[in-house]
A = this chain, B = another copy of it.
């Protein structure tokens, strides 16, 4: 942790990241200025640049990583135990609740639009999140296969990719329309697909 060599320093740095995440969630990247973050976190300009010498982009990147970590954490422990239909249902409810609660703003979506284009940093964060998320879904599907609940012929990776896409899109649509029905439809249809696939004559 460069430029945070003391206990107090690490605390301040963390306060900045968390406070910035709050402000960004409320106002969006475009409308948020360093002064907003300063105000929220009770810090001074020099502190911001002391902990993030490369300026705003570096801070945004740190916030993006912070938010990305939260995404998967918030789905635990359900996401880690997708081995029965009941556990899938619980996970589904957790996802819906999390995003309905979050309201109409996606911290990551807007963050990587700001930083994403220029730097490979933001892309790497998003790509990493997507990879991990999809892996966990795939693992859950394999657990269903192991329990004989889903035919072993299922293309797990493709199905997991499709489900992940559905969630992403559901969240996106929810953020622009305020309606979570697409997210629910994607989750429910995806799970239903698992239940019915491969049973064709």
Contact = CB atoms under 8 A, between A and B. Distances in A.
Copies of this chain, complex-wide, total 2
A47 interface: no
Nearest to A174: B165
A185 B162 contact: yes
B173 A172 contact: no
A122 B189 CA distance: 29
Interface in A141-186: 158-159, 161-162, 164-173, 176-178, 181-183, 185-186
Given A130-B173, A130-B177, A186 B199 contact: no
Interface residues of A, number: 51
Contacts of A186: 161-162, 165-166, 169
Given A162-B186, A186-B162, A112 B176 contact: yes
25 contacts: A27-B117, A28-B113, A29-B113, A105-B117, A109-B113, A109-B172, A116-B176, A123-B177, A126-B176, A127-B176, A158-B188, A159-B189, A161-B182, A162-B166, A162-B182, A162-B189, A164-B173, A164-B182, A165-B166, A165-B169, A165-B173, A169-B169, A192-B193, A192-B197, A199-B201
